[in-house]
Amino acid sequence: MERAWIVSLGTELALGQTVDTNAAWLAQRLTELGIRPARHVTVPDELSAIRDALAQAAGESDVVVVSGGLGPTDDDLTRHALAALAGVELELHAPSLERLRGFFAARNRQMQPTNRIQAMIPKGGAALENTCGTAPGISIKLGGTPCFALPGVPFEMKTMFERAVRPVIRAATTGRVLLTRQIQCFGLGESDLAAKIRDMMTRGRNPEVGTTAKLGAIGIRINAAAGAPAAANELLDETERELRRRLGELVFGTGDDTLAAVVGAQLRQRRATLAVAESCTGGLLAKLITDVPGSSAYFVGGAVTYANEAKVRLLAVDNAPLAAEGAVSEPVARSMARGVRAALGATYAVAVTGIAGPGGGTEAKPVGLVYVGLDTRAETRVERFLFGHDAPRAFIRGRAAMTALNLLRLELLGTSGAAS
Amino acid sequence: MERAWIVSLGTELALGQTVDTNAAWLAQRLTELGIRPARHVTVPDELSAIRDALAQAAGESDVVVVSGGLGPTDDDLTRHALAALAGVELELHAPSLERLRGFFAARNRQMQPTNRIQAMIPKGGAALENTCGTAPGISIKLGGTPCFALPGVPFEMKTMFERAVRPVIRAATTGRVLLTRQIQCFGLGESDLAAKIRDMMTRGRNPEVGTTAKLGAIGIRINAAAGAPAAANELLDETERELRRRLGELVFGTGDDTLAAVVGAQLRQRRATLAVAESCTGGLLAKLITDVPGSSAYFVGGAVTYANEAKVRLLAVDNAPLAAEGAVSEPVARSMARGVRAALGATYAVAVTGIAGPGGGTEAKPVGLVYVGLDTRAETRVERFLFGHDAPRAFIRGRAAMTALNLLRLELLGTSGAAS
């Protein structure tokens, strides 16, 4: 088994009313098992569309994993499509009918006649027990290709995959594994960062190296193929070392690490505390920090000082610089950082003031202009950024909040140019 | 044009490292335009896989919309695949190169030589201007089927679709239209709300009625098919009226209205101002409020008082109730609301204190317990909520922030039970 196709069934998915998360989850599991997800396909609840998709999937892959279309209603057509493609009838699977009856009895609910269809399996196929819902899954070969049909409800699908599909696939694979690792970077645009590792991103290299961007953080994926996990891990280690050598302090973490979690761990380790003052990010910076479970150990709190008056009242920012230079200025960022650190008695404070747009920009102070202030026991400093004019409000706010966290991260690393 | 295929390109999507949200968004837009999304396909960044997918898409549909693979790196292969399928060379598109140079110059960044590839377009195709990023899109016919290739970054993709793709598709479609409307509700769970409109949600009804939930807000979609827009709109009007009659003040808006935007509009209309005090939501409430462009007209600011000391220092909450009843309590929610309204001189204030988990819960105060306080010139009141224990931190925080906004919405409507 080398190549898998993942098929998602549902009109709500095809019309975009629901975002499909099953396919991504299944792709991750298959990848872990050393099987390459070669294609995901989504089709609506229409018999001919489902048949076409499944026939093509079985023809062009070594294993097919399907989710959805196993419910009790007329638009649940997976079992019919599988039976038609295998050229067999549906037949009642007595143990599944027993389980269905038990499921409803245990909940004091009447089993509807329509639910009986859920105990029907294409002849020659096998039922996969559903331990969390009504619909059993189906395992069947289509032209020699194993095909697993799982429910669309994510937790039923996941439980069934782990119980009934993973062991079968593991037994069928020949041992070749594909292991994945990710390192997280912040501080350069995606193409500038890629320029530093261009030669490592050539196609066909093993491990493969690729980048993705999110809120300004660049994730670098490393995928290594090898005959055994230990050999794959060795390849990953080697590539990770080289990436870290080239990227230095741009690298802030691994896996799904967020900047906020990494900064939080540094603060916790030093028994230091943090306070924030926000204007244009309007709470987003504090939100990112408190997304992290346990952040109360180091995050004291913050002030969202949207109006000038709030800056004066909560942070004791002077009226003079506000009037002379405006709220989006170096001295105001400085005062905000100092003000919130003093007000909350924290070890560190960061402050953000800027113009997130879409309105409020001028020639001198365009949309996207942001000042980030940092106050410590030793010093106060402010950096100025311009986050792409014409960029949407959410982009500018996200970039500003992440940049504030990164400034603090570099300060905590003690490698910041302006360190005292 | 009747059938569309949506193709998403990217190894990170195929491996499941990123969940694809572009396909769902594009499917919704195409549906609005009366075009049925017949299939979504996701393939990794491999030239042969992309070519196969695009060739099949062009062969089996009336229009193909592609996202991803237009970046500057070697694994961005969309333009190469399109050129190969069209049997043409890539050629430099001078205006796109100009725009690229301008993009980097405006940011004081060096344009990398690799970025030049982004100005290359298959001969015979057209460049679609990217107003928010570097990669122009591509419009080209493959065997007579129009094909639009858009960037993978969601906001660039969306902006380009609206500017350059929607008008072309609209001009090419004829006759039968499918119009969509959405009304937004808050205050009941999805299944309890559905129970009130069960009979309107039967399949095959025209208009079709369906629900989706997001952060506790329930969107009710209405899809009406008719021979002309006027007739479809009449059907929509009729169904919307009936839904509003049944759901009353649960309905807070239409379309993509957010609770924060609706509350903001009400505040603006009354020339009233708002301040917030947050503990467990940690900035999320302020973030939702300031997501709305122009929120500075009514939002003064807020205090994120995560530590008890911050509650005392910024909001003058008394130490006595904090010590006696704990931070998550009725009197503390009351003091926080009063404190922030007084500190910032706002017309209204809302405060949230609760236990977002995963740690910190006790028998008496479990994870999910949240108090929301509301302070106005006339009164202060507090309501207590329990947002599903065992629920994830992000769920509880989201629900708490939205509930605080909804309490204020009902207060502003003047229909709140406890109105003074």
Report residue B189's pLDDT band, with 50, 70 and 90 as the boundaries. Answer: confident
ipTM: 0.73
Q: Cβ B290–A302 below 8 Å, yes or no?
A: no
Domain boundary, last residue among B172, B198, B229: B172
Domain boundary, last residue among B155, B172, B189: B172
- Runs of H (alpha helix) within A326-392: 330-344
Contact in structure between B343 and B314 (CB atoms under 8 Å): yes
Residue B420 domain-assigned?
Answer: no
pLDDT at A390 over 80: no
Residue A110 is predicted with a pLDDT of 78
Closest chain A residue to the Cα of B71, Cα to Cα: A191
Q: Cβ A40–B14 below 8 Å, yes or no?
A: yes
Question: What is the C-alpha to C-alpha distance for residues A275 and A346, in angstroms, rounded to an integer?
Answer: 6
Tell me, what DSSP letter sits at residue A165?
Answer: I
Nearest partner of B160 among B187, B135, B124, judged by Cα: B135
Residue A152 domain-assigned?
Answer: yes
Closest chain B residue to the Cα of A74, Cα to Cα: B203
Same domain for B183 and B153: no
Same domain for A30 and A155: yes
Picking from B12, B19, B108, the nearest residue to A221 by CB comes out as B12
Residue B416 is predicted with a pLDDT of 42
Question: What is the C-alpha to C-alpha distance for residues B368 and B389, in angstroms, rounded to an integer?
Answer: 5
pLDDT at A389 over 80: no
pLDDT at B68 over 50: yes
**Which positions in chain A touch B287 (Cβ < 8 Å)?**
281-284, 286-287
Report residue B146's pLDDT band, with 50, 70 and 90 as the boundaries. Answer: very high
Residue B419 is predicted with a pLDDT of 33
Residue A420 domain-assigned?
Answer: no
Q: Which helix (H) or strand (E) holds A241?
A: helix A229-247
Question: Total structural domains in chain B?
Answer: 3
Residue B419 domain-assigned?
Answer: no
Which two structure tokens, joined as six digits, stand for B273?
């101002």
Q: In 10 A of CB A394, how many CB atoms?
A: 13
Tell me, what DSSP letter sits at residue A110?
Answer: P
Testing the interface with A: which of B314, B347, B390, B396 to mutate, by most A Cβ within 10 A?
B314
Question: What is the C-alpha to C-alpha distance for residues B135 and B115, in angstroms, rounded to an integer?
Answer: 9
What are the residues facing B275 on neighbouring strands?
A: B301, B349
Nearest partner of B85 among B105, B100, B64, judged by Cα: B64
Residue A415 is predicted with a pLDDT of 46
Same domain for B250 and B362: no
Same domain for A328 and A229: no
Q: Which helix (H) or strand (E) holds B139?
A: strand B137-142
pLDDT at A5 over 90: yes
Name the minimum distance, in Å, from the CA of A144 to any CA of chain B: 23
Picking from A182, A202, A392, the nearest residue to B155 by CB comes out as A392
**Which positions in chain A touch B109 (Cβ < 8 Å)?**
189, 192
pLDDT at B214 over 80: no
Closest chain A residue to the Cα of B57, Cα to Cα: A41
Q: In 10 A of CB A94, how many CB atoms?
A: 10
Q: In 10 A of CB A236, how many CB atoms?
A: 18
pLDDT at B417 over 80: no
Same domain for A152 and A265: no
What are the residues facing A326 on neighbouring strands?
A: none
Pair type for strands A137-142 and A145-150 = antiparallel
Same domain for A335 and A370: yes
B76 interface with A at CB cutoff 8 Å: no
Most confident region among A109-123, A168-182, B370-384 by mean pLDDT = B370-384
Q: Cβ B306–A300 below 8 Å, yes or no?
A: yes
pLDDT at A160 over 80: yes
Instruction: Give per-residue pLDDT as tens, B354-391.
Output: 999 888 899 899 999 999 999 999 999 999 999 876 67
Residue A73 is predicted with a pLDDT of 77
pLDDT at A270 over 50: yes
Q: Cβ A287–B283 below 8 Å, yes or no?
A: yes
Picking from B16, B132, B306, the nearest residue to A290 by CB comes out as B306
A54 interface with B at CB cutoff 8 Å: no
pLDDT at B245 over 60: yes
Same domain for A391 and A372: yes
Contact in structure between A354 and A280 (CB atoms under 8 Å): yes
A96 interface with B at CB cutoff 8 Å: no
Task: Give the A window 239-258 contacts with B, CB below 8 Å.
Answer: none
Q: Which of A191-205, A348-362, B111-125, B204-218 has the lowest mean pLDDT?
A: B204-218
Which two structure tokens, joined as six digits, stand for A271?
């028994």
Instruction: Give per-residue pLDDT as tens, A180-229.
Output: 899 999 999 888 999 999 999 987 799 989 887 778 899 998 988 888 88
Residue B46 is predicted with a pLDDT of 94
Instruction: Report the number of secondary-structure helices (H) and strands (E) in chain A.
Output: 15, 17
Pair type for strands B177-185 and B251-254 = antiparallel
Top-confidence residue, A106 or B166: B166
Question: What is the C-alpha to C-alpha distance for residues A287 and A215, in angstroms, rounded to an integer?
Answer: 14
Instruction: Say which amino acid occupies B200.
Output: M
The DSSP line for B59-124 is HH-SEEEEES--SSSTT--HHHHHHHHHT--EEE-HHHHHHHHHHHHHTT-PPPGGGGGGGEEETT
Same domain for A142 and A21: yes
**Which positions in chain B touch A192 (Cβ < 8 Å)?**
109-110, 112
Task: Give the A window 320-379 contacts with B, CB below 8 Å.
Answer: 343-345, 357-360
Q: Which helix (H) or strand (E) holds B253?
A: strand B251-254
Contact in structure between A45 and A11 (CB atoms under 8 Å): yes
Domain boundary, last residue among A143, A172, A201: A172
Question: What is the C-alpha to C-alpha distance for residues B208 and A15, in angstroms, rounded to an integer?
Answer: 13
For tokens 């095809």, name the residue.
A14
What residue ranges in B161-243 does DSSP mark as E strands? 177-185, 208-214, 217-226
Same domain for B221 and B158: no
What are the residues facing A370 on neighbouring strands?
A: A354, A385
Residue A418 is predicted with a pLDDT of 39
Same domain for B87 and B62: yes
A:B CB pairs within 8 Å: 306
Residue A113 domain-assigned?
Answer: yes
Nearest partner of A277 among A328, A318, A336, A327, judged by Cα: A336
Contact in structure between B112 and B72 (CB atoms under 8 Å): yes
Instruction: Give per-residue pLDDT as tens, B90-123.
Output: 999 999 999 888 888 877 788 888 888 999 999 9
Averaged confidence pLDDT in chain B: 91
Contact in structure between B347 and B377 (CB atoms under 8 Å): yes
Top-confidence residue, A221 or B284: B284
Task: Give the B window 5-44 contacts with A, CB below 8 Å.
Answer: 8, 10-21, 23-29, 31, 36-44
CATH number for the domain including A373?
3.90.950.20
Same domain for A210 and A137: no
Same domain for B235 and B371: no
What is the widest separation between alpha-carbon atoms in chain A?
A: 83
Enumerate residues 6+ apart whose C-beta is below 8 A from B174.
Answer: none
What are the residues facing B4 on neighbouring strands?
A: B37, B63
Instruction: Say which amino acid occupies A222.
Output: I
Picking from B16, B221, B293, the nearest residue to A26 by CB comes out as B16
Nearest partner of B305 among B260, B335, B274, judged by Cα: B335
Task: Give the A window 120-159 contacts with B, CB below 8 Å.
Answer: none
Question: What is the C-alpha to C-alpha distance for residues B57 and A143, in angstroms, rounded to an integer?
Answer: 24
The mean pLDDT value for B346-360 works out to: 95
Name the minimum distance, in Å, from the CA of A293 to any CA of chain B: 7
Question: What is the C-alpha to C-alpha distance for residues B331 and A127, in angstroms, rounded to an integer?
Answer: 56
Q: Which helix (H) or strand (E) holds B166?
A: helix B166-172
Residue B72 is predicted with a pLDDT of 87
Residue B316 domain-assigned?
Answer: yes
Task: Give the A window 399-418 contacts with B, CB below 8 Å.
Answer: none
Residue B311 is predicted with a pLDDT of 92
pTM of the model: 0.75
CATH number for the domain including A129?
3.40.980.10
A223 interface with B at CB cutoff 8 Å: yes
Q: Which of A146-155, A369-378, B195-204 has the lowest mean pLDDT?
A: B195-204
Tell me whether the omega of the peptide bond preceding residue A358 falls within 30 degrees of 0, making it cis.
Answer: yes
Question: What is the C-alpha to C-alpha distance for residues B249 and B416, in angstroms, rounded to an integer?
Answer: 10
Contact in structure between B146 and B138 (CB atoms under 8 Å): no
Task: Return the ∠ at Cα B51 (arms to B50 and B55), rounded to 5°.
Answer: 120
The DSSP line for B4-63 is EEEEEE-HHHHTTSS---HHHHHHHHHHHTT-EEEEEEEE-S-HHHHHHHHHHHHHH-SE
Name the minimum distance, in Å, from the CA of A211 to any CA of chain B: 9
CATH number for the domain including A213?
3.30.70.2860
Residue B245 domain-assigned?
Answer: yes
Task: Return the ∠ at Cα B77 (arms to B74 and B82), rounded to 5°.
Answer: 150
By CB neighbour count within 10 A (0-12 exposed, 13-18 middle, 19+ buried), where does B294 fall?
middle
Q: Cβ A44–B21 below 8 Å, yes or no?
A: no
The mean pLDDT value for A153-172 works out to: 87
- Residue B283: domain span: 259-413
Question: What is the C-alpha to C-alpha distance for residues B194 and A177, in angstroms, rounded to an integer?
Answer: 46
Instruction: Give per-residue pLDDT as tens, A19-66.
Output: 999 999 999 999 888 899 999 999 999 999 999 999 999 999 999 999
pLDDT at A297 over 70: yes
Q: Which of A96-110, A127-141, A309-323, B379-393 has the lowest mean pLDDT?
A: A96-110
Nearest partner of B179 among B113, B145, B119, B225, judged by Cα: B225
Residue B418 domain-assigned?
Answer: no
Question: What is the C-alpha to C-alpha distance for residues A38 and A61, in angstroms, rounded to an integer?
Answer: 8
Question: What is the C-alpha to C-alpha distance for residues A304 and A286, in angstroms, rounded to an integer?
Answer: 9
Q: Cβ A49–B39 below 8 Å, yes or no?
A: yes
